[in-house]
Structure 1
Amino acid sequence: MKKAVRKTLAPRMINPKGGFNVVRKGVSNSYWGDLYHWLLSLSWPKFLALISLGYLVVNALFALAYLAGGNGIENARPGNFLDAFFFSVQTMASIGYGAMFPKTTYAHVLVTIESLIGLMGLAVGTGLMFARFSLPKARVTFSRVAVIAPYNGIPTLMFRVANERQNWILEAQIRVTLVRNEITVEGDMMRRFYDMQLLRSQTPLFALTWTVMHPIDENSPLYGVTLENMIEDEMELVVTLTGLDETVSQIIHARHSFIAGEIFWNMRFVDILSKTREGRRTIDYSCFHDVIPIE
């Protein structure tokens, strides 16, 4: 049983988590030009930390503004930052305990402005939270390696895909593209894309596992290709999966890629299907990534 993955220096376009592994130059990388998309793509810890920091900073600024106006808050200690800060929190959140309240025109103007900002902030924050929760996320696992082994007498590229959720992905479709470097007649280097024909590229119901297979025959872009060729031409197999999540009734997407060091010749995947004594089928996901040599 083999778990190790060969290491190579070949770069990859799609990283193991599905992100784009390309450095962009000559374009603006400013988040302000696409702030909404950036806020949706942040991880949850970073998003919550950003919201919390923004809330504290805005209230601290309003607290300083209240202090700058002198003794404008009734029942607050003159010049006390904490009293002004907590009054700002109560104003922005519309709590209104009544223990502290504005007593000057300057303080009333600040309360009006802060109340408006608080309402707008609540609306934006609620919208962002809802958008993040409602954004469909695929929980699809790809095997860490792909293998090339005979299938019905034909060398066949194979890899596994599994649905981690206990639900159905309806009308699932998978596509595999070979990306490689090529030199044109004029001597220009190009990154070329070749679609790869699969034995089965779609399934009406995807709930457990799926072994994706591409026969390496005369029509295959991998026909006659060796490991050395894959490393030399920096070949990469880009995999995309789409389908309809039955729970949220929305389209989900998943991406993965395999480079030369993750493709094993004359190996096959360990069988993960079995039956219980009662005759029920079982799947052992602990061996999902394991491969063994062909006997």
Structure 2
Amino acid sequence: MVRPIAKWLSEYLSGRRIRQTRLVTKDGRCNIEHGNISYQNHFAYILDFWTTLVEIRWRFILFFFVASFTMSWFIFGLIWYWIARNNGDLTWQNPPQGNKPCVSNVYGLTTAFLYSVETQMTIGYGGRALTAQCPGAVALLIIQSIVGALINCFWCGMVMTKISLPKKRAKTITFSKTAVICPKNGTLCLQIRVANLRKTLMIGSQIYGKLLRTTVTAEGEAIILDQVNIDFIVDSGKDNLFFVCPLTLYHVIDKFSPFFEMAVDTLHQQEFELVVFLDGIAESTSSSCQVRTSYIPQEIMWGYKFQSIISRSKEGKYRVDFSNFSKMVPVPTAHCSYCFHNEKGHHHHARDGHQNQGFEVIDIDKPPCATKI
């Protein structure tokens, strides 16, 4: 009983430590803090208030939404109260018989606030109405109507912008939980699988990667988060991907690749983070979108390949089985890239595997875990 709990606690602490040390989380959020920012830079956030409001959480948006309307109602209510006071319309002023008020039935702060709400929200219950007694009240009515329209337009635009953020579209682009290293087309490749969960395409999609690691220069200077470009391609190239079904992206491990010096027994001892980016334009909204994820050495499996998830029935329908999206099978793979290029047959796995050549034609009636495309 104690041993399983200790094992679970050790795995939990290990996973939490990994999440804290990685720069980019699996869902694309950047794990970075900005410290010692000068006051002038903080003031820049206020100047760029539109971007600041778009990026803050919904709870603050709702708070500022309610606060802006409430404050405007209250401020204009005070002004209406001041106008009524100057005209002697308030109850405590004992207005004389036959006094013509600026606003009928406004005789206190509460009624002035109610009239402010009715004016700005164009409610018009009919109990309180503006008269022609005070020209200043007419001008205030026009000003408050314009201010109310501006506030409505601002928050409508803010909510629409926040709802239609490209980050929401990125939620329907998913990467495989792990990356694999195995032979492909006569070369040793690092492979990653990516899928578009919507039927609408990502136009002009481009895929690329950055390897983040700490390097030491010849002068002994340590460079934290040194970035190395990692090129990913598919069989049709690396630009303008036809992203209608899940794709397997691969990086060729040659002598120019930073993975060339790694081997199966040293890979998980390395300290690096592979960040993968996918840029594209959403077909339905024409907004640019970037999807990010990252892989640490423990999430890269040497000597495995992804299972096939695309099949074709006898009726000619293509289906995608997402239950096998991140599943892997072992394949014969050299221990290192040098072994692959110089010692053929020096494999990491003894069990044989097979390459997925094209679409496999199988008979499908009603697959339980398949998504029709």
TM-score, structure 1 length as denominator? 0.81
Taking structure 1 as reference, are residues 143 and 229 closer, same or farther at Cα in structure 2, changes over 3 Å only?
Answer: same
**Counterpart mapping for 1:182-261 below 5 A:** 182-190=215-223, 191-200=225-234, 201-226=238-263, 234-261=271-298
Taking structure 1 as reference, are residues 94 and 275 closer, same or farther at Cα in structure 2, changes over 3 Å only?
Answer: same
- 2:302 matched to which residue of 1? 265
**Counterpart mapping for 1:48-67 below 5 A:** 48-64=62-78, 66-67=80-81
- 1:160 matched to which residue of 2? 193
Deviation of 1:160 after TM superposition, in Å, equals 1.1
| Aligned equivalent of 1:150, options 180, 183, 201 | 183
Q: Is the 8 A contact 2:270 2:297 kept in 1?
A: no
Gaps of 5+ in 1: none
Aligned: 1:96 with 2:124: yes
Larger displacement relative to structure 2 (33-42 or 125-134): 125-134
- Greater strand share, 1 or 2? 1
CA distance in 2: counterparts of 1:24 and 1:230, whole angstroms: 31
Instruction: After superposition, give the CA deviation of every residue in 1:38-68 in whole Å (9 maximum; x if it has no partner).
Output: 2222455653453234323432444455456
| Aligned equivalent of 2:30, options 15, 20, 40 | 20
Taking structure 1 as reference, are residues 89 and 256 closer, same or farther at Cα in structure 2, changes over 3 Å only?
Answer: same
CA distance in 1: counterparts of 2:266 and 2:74, whole angstroms: 61
Report the residue type matching 1:52 in the other structure.
V
- Greater helix share, 1 or 2? 2
- 2:149 matched to which residue of 1? 119
| Aligned equivalent of 1:36, options 24, 38, 50 | 50
Q: SS where residue 7 of structure 1 aligns?
A: helix
Gaps of 5+ in 2: 1-10, 91-101, 332-350, 352-373
Instruction: After superposition, give the CA deviation of every residue in 1:4-49 in whole Å (9 maximum; x if it has no partner).
Output: 9983845222222323222122433453132111222245565345
Question: More relative contact order in 1 or in 2 (CA 8 Å, sep 6+)?
Answer: 1
Q: Is the 8 A contact 1:180 1:233 kept in 2?
A: no
CA distance in 1: counterparts of 2:77 and 2:69, whole angstroms: 12
Taking structure 1 as reference, are residues 163 and 75 closer, same or farther at Cα in structure 2, changes over 3 Å only?
Answer: same
Q: SS where residue 114 of structure 1 aligns?
A: helix
CA distance in 2: counterparts of 1:216 and 1:119, whole angstroms: 60
CA distance in 1: counterparts of 2:322 and 2:59, whole angstroms: 29
Deviation of 1:210 after TM superposition, in Å, equals 1.1
- 2:208 matched to which residue of 1? 175
Deviation of 1:249 after TM superposition, in Å, equals 3.3
Q: SS where residue 196 of structure 1 aligns?
A: strand
**Counterpart mapping for 1:72-111 below 5 A:** 73-76=103-106, 78-80=108-110, 83-102=111-130, 111=141
Deviation of 1:125 after TM superposition, in Å, equals 2.5
Report the residue type matching 2:260 in the other structure.
Y
CA distance in 2: counterparts of 1:227 and 1:101, whole angstroms: 82
Taking structure 1 as reference, are residues 199 and 122 closer, same or farther at Cα in structure 2, changes over 3 Å only?
Answer: closer
CA distance in 1: counterparts of 2:57 and 2:127, whole angstroms: 39
- 2:325 matched to which residue of 1? 288
Deviation of 1:281 after TM superposition, in Å, equals 1.4
Q: Is the 8 A contact 2:277 2:292 kept in 1?
A: yes
CA distance in 1: counterparts of 2:214 and 2:26, whole angstroms: 21
- 1:274 matched to which residue of 2? 311
CA distance in 1: counterparts of 2:77 and 2:267, whole angstroms: 62
Number of equivalences? 290
Instruction: After superposition, give the CA deviation of every residue in 1:75-118 in whole Å (9 maximum; x if it has no partner).
Output: 256343xx444322221123434321356857656545433321
Report the residue type matching 1:157 in the other structure.
L
TM-score, structure 2 length as denominator? 0.66
**CA-atom RMSD, angstroms?**
3.3
